[in-house]
Amino acid sequence: MKEIKIIINFSLILILNSCASSPDDPDPWEGMNRGIYSFNEGFDEYVAHPIAGTYKEYAPGFVRAGVYNFFSNLDDFIVFINGYLQFKAVQGTSDLGRFVVNSTIGIFGLFDVATYMGLVKHNEDFGQTMGYWGVGDGPYFVIPFIGPSSVRDTAGWVADYQIDLIQEVEDRNARYGLVALKYIHMKSIYLDANEIARQISLDKYSFIRDAYLQRRQSLVADGNVENKKEEELDEDLDDL
């Protein structure tokens, strides 16, 4: 209980900081971030990636597909809540439908039946919800063991963690086992992308940072980044 209070207090501090403003320099903590990034790279190289590579090599494709569908279904629960918080009623209802269908007909989410029924998978989280309500990104931030984020998205990640259905599993060993499996599975998905980023960029840190920030901006704006920039430009011209 004490740990939960610490996490909640930390997330509140992050939210308050992110509300201040989005700095012109998106990475004012670059020195610290590069240090954490280097630590994460070492951890991935010697621990996470070997385990993820073994999992990817020896786990049959249908098993990995089932694991992906299972965690994707749990994620849909978070997605539908954040959809409603952004007043996306139709989308939120569709996401709730996905969760119900895949949790029942899809056998606890192991099979993605909902997609075949025309219920499209969406991407929403509390970081995007805060962005929808005008909370700025805040400084770029690299989370130890996790990777790229921002002050706002880190607070959002903490908030989403509280409603993640994995936290409802009472058996501690089973709960930690699910968290570990999700972590390794996600690492296995991005093994190839990580290698591509290393090969095509002179500065992998900057490449990942810029790609992350652009993608998050696009997600918050629902892909309408250019239109948003044009509107902001028109407003600036009107003020002149």
- Residue-wise pLDDT for 25-55, tens only, equals 899 999 999 999 999 999 999 999 999 999 9
**pLDDT value of position 150:** 96
**Main-chain dihedrals φ then ψ at residue 148, nearest 5 degrees:** -65, 140
Flag whether pLDDT at 70 surpasses 80. yes
User: Rounded to whole angstroms, how far apart are CA atoms 114 and 122?
Assistant: 12
Amino acid letter, residue 172: R
Amino acid letter, residue 10: F
User: Rounded to whole angstroms, how far apart are CA atoms 111 and 105?
Assistant: 8
Helix (H) or strand (E) segment spanning residue 190: none
Share of the chain above pLDDT 70, in %: 84
Average pLDDT over the chain, rounded to whole? 87
Strands (E), the chain: 140-143, 147-150
pLDDT band at 197 (very low <50, low <70, confident <90, very high): confident
Amino acid letter, residue 195: E
- Give me the residues paired with residue 140 across strands: 150
Contact present, 108 and 178 (Cβ < 8 Å): no
Flag whether pLDDT at 157 surpasses 90. yes
Flag whether pLDDT at 166 surpasses 80. yes
pLDDT digits (tens, 9 = 90+) for 93-120: 999 999 999 999 999 999 999 999 999 9
* Burial degree of 58 (CB within 10 A; 0-12, 13-18, 19+): exposed
**pLDDT value of position 1:** 46
HSE-up (13 A, CA, CB side) for residue 131:
24
pLDDT band at 237 (very low <50, low <70, confident <90, very high): very low
Burial track 168-195 (b if 16+ CB lie within 10 A, e otherwise) = eeeeeeeeeebeeebebbebbeeeeebe
**pLDDT value of position 193:** 83
How is 107-131 classified by DSSP, letter by letter?
TTTTS-HHHHTT-------HHHHHH
Average pLDDT over every residue of 2-7 = 51
**pLDDT value of position 240:** 43
User: Rounded to whole angstroms, how far apart are CA atoms 24 and 18?
Assistant: 13
pLDDT band at 236 (very low <50, low <70, confident <90, very high): very low
203/229: higher pLDDT: 203
